[in-house]
Amino acid sequence: MELPFAESYKIKVIEPIHRSSRNEREQWIKKAHYNLFNLSSNQVYIDLLTDSGTGAMSDCQWSAMMLGDESYAGSSSYHILKETVKRITGFEHFLPTHQGRAAENVLFSALVKEGDVVPGNSHFDTTKGHIEYRKATAIDCTIDEAFDTTSTHPFKGNIDLEKLEKVLKEYPAERIPFIVVTVTCNTSGGQPVSMRNLREVSNLAKKYGIMVVYDSARFAENAYFIKRNEDGYKEMPVKQIVREMFSHADAMTMSSKKDGIVNMGGFIAMQDEELFNSASVYNILFEGFVTYGGMSGRDMNALAQGLEEGTEFDYLDTRIRQVAYLGEKLKSFNIPVQEPFGGHAIFVDALRFLPGLPREQFTAQTLAVELYLEAGVRGVEIGTLMADRDPVTRENRYPNLELVRLAIPRRVYTNNHMDVVAVALKNVYDRRDEIKKGFEIVSEAPIMRHFTVQLKRV
């Protein structure tokens, strides 16, 4: 008999979590105005709100923290992290920042100006925000398959080369500071980009003399998918795949809260010394001196260790198989989920789950609240609430998909927890015909309303 799969680590420290009664949850969610962001974490049993900064550090990371060097300039922690970033990514120059959007702020300050266009694959919202804040435009060049939930394309994060070349032809090179490639593509559901696509984007960029920047939060998960699903990479170690990926880029921004497996942190890395020098000025202005950039020495040590561990096959195999485990379990209950499963989350298709509910009553939010009421599981709505209103007409925007994202924190929950999540959703699914009413808005902020919106039952 083939031995079953099991986690590539054992547990040394635990944190108790508590179940609650349905009655308690009814009161808590009402008090939170049916907004899951307003719940206290102790009102949540299994928290799948995000995989960002919620991972569990290893014993080696915790011990590295004790060796942190808190010198203002030139600390040993900085040098350890710089060497690790160079070894893992191949980039010569490196700037620490306090998180991913800070890296974007610093690098884009050096590169993006009013009137520019930045093509890419479904830019992450902070990336888009930092482009639009500078009165530049993000142009989405993702392949069409990315938006088709029934397509099983293995690399739905890929850039459509024809769409990209059209942009490169249409605008002069001075107005295109760089192409951004998000690995894996968060916005299209944690979907990977193939090595072949990375190579082709690089070739096209070179032809037009444009830089390529990777938004790299989940670069290691992307490398894992290349190893698993792309011809020619089965036998290659993940670390070597990572080096090959970054060899096709000129620079990278990183949210270390994802594949760095730390709770806070980010960085920028690049080949070009001139770009490093100009970005350094903004780093000092916004983040801190170039050898700490908003991070304490101990956190830089933990990140260096996290980058080592996060690019090991056994860790990635454990992680991504756990995400797939939840996906398969939901599928076995006939619950409509997006496929192929992404690297960090499972997306439940709320329009197929609750087809009778009017979209004006926020279908995905209704499902997310029902899941919380059922078992204290917190997911997040990626639908009409998040899509917000049209800035001009102020009408609700209805995106193609109405999803509940179940993001899995790294090394935090066991598959028993995944079983609870799956059965909770099955129970909601079994009584889906009774869910006839959703929510209406009581109050909302002018932008990014989903974080603070207050709702009431219709």
Ligand X SMILES: *Cc1c(COP(=O)(O)O)cnc(C)c1O
283 binds ligand X (CB under 6 A): no
Please identify which of the residues 248, 258, 329, 417 carries the catalytic annotation: 258
Residue 155 falls in the annotated catalytic set: no
Residue 215 falls in the annotated catalytic set: yes
34 binds ligand X (CB under 6 A): no
Residues numbered 202 to 231 that lie near ligand X (CB under 6 A) are 215, 217
Choice from 25, 101, 378, 450 touching ligand X (CB under 6 A): 101
Residues numbered 334 to 393 that lie near ligand X (CB under 6 A) are none
Residues numbered 37 to 56 that lie near ligand X (CB under 6 A) are 52
Q: Which is nearer to ligand X, 36 or 252 (CB)?
A: 252
Please identify which of the residues 47, 51, 215, 250 carries the catalytic annotation: 215
Please identify which of the residues 124, 178, 282, 347 carries the catalytic annotation: 124
Please identify which of the residues 98, 128, 227, 450 carries the catalytic annotation: 450
Backbone conformation region of residue 334, classed left if phi is above 0, alpha if psi is from -120 to 50, else beta: left
Choice from 82, 156, 257, 329 touching ligand X (CB under 6 A): 257
Q: Which is nearer to ligand X, 84 or 186 (CB)?
A: 186
Q: Using CB atoms within 10 A of its CB, is residue 173 exposed (0-12), middle (13-18) or buried (19+)?
A: exposed
Phi, psi of 440 (to 5 degrees): -125, 160
The residue of the chain with the least Cβ separation from ligand X equals 100
* Amino acid, single-letter form, for residue 147: F
266 binds ligand X (CB under 6 A): yes
Q: Which is nearer to ligand X, 266 or 438 (CB)?
A: 266
61 binds ligand X (CB under 6 A): no
DSSP-assigned beta bridge partners for residue 236: none
Query: What are the b/e assignments for 60-94, b being 16+ CB within 10 Å?
Result: ebeebbeebbeeeeebebbebbbebbeebbbbebb
Letters for 104-133 (x = contact with ligand X by CB under 6 A, - = none) are --------------------x-xx------
Residue 441: which of 450, 433, 432 has the closest Cα?
Answer: 450
Please identify which of the residues 125, 148, 314, 390 carries the catalytic annotation: 125
193 binds ligand X (CB under 6 A): no
Specify the long-range contacts of residues 331-338, CB closer than 8 Å, at least 24 apart.
333/422, 333/425, 333/426, 333/429, 334/429, 335/425, 335/426, 335/429, 338/149, 338/189, 338/401, 338/403
Q: Which is nearer to ligand X, 215 or 388 (CB)?
A: 215
Answer yes or no: are the C-beta atoms of 157 and 183 closer than 8 Å. yes
Choice from 58, 89, 122, 182 touching ligand X (CB under 6 A): 182
Residue 125 falls in the annotated catalytic set: yes
Q: Taking the CA atoms of 152, 155, 157 and 160 in sequence, report the sign of the dihedral they define.
A: negative
Span from 200-208, 251-259, 351-359, 373-381 in contact with ligand X (CB under 6 A): 251-259
Which positions ≥6 away from 121 have C-beta within 8 Å? 140, 141, 142, 146, 157, 158, 159, 180, 181, 182, 185, 188, 193
Residue 436 falls in the annotated catalytic set: no
Could you give the CA distance from residue 377 to residue 43 in angstroms, rounded to a whole number?
A: 10
100 binds ligand X (CB under 6 A): yes
Choice from 43, 58, 77, 99 touching ligand X (CB under 6 A): 99
Residue 123 falls in the annotated catalytic set: no
Span from 132-140, 254-262, 273-281, 365-373 in contact with ligand X (CB under 6 A): 254-262
For tokens 């989940």, name the residue: 218
Number of residues engaging ligand X in binding (CB under 6 A) = 15
Residue 72 falls in the annotated catalytic set: yes
Question: According to DSSP H, which parts of 90-215 are helical?
Answer: 100-111, 125-132, 161-170, 195-208
Closest contact distance (angstroms) between CB of 25 and ligand X is: 28
How does DSSP assign 360-400, residue by residue? GG-HHHHHHHHHHHHHSEE-EEESHHHH-B-TTT-PBP--S
* Residues forming the active site: 72, 124-125, 215, 217, 258, 450
Which residues of this chain interact with ligand X, rule CB under 6 A? 52, 99-101, 124, 126-127, 182, 186, 215, 217, 255, 257-258, 266
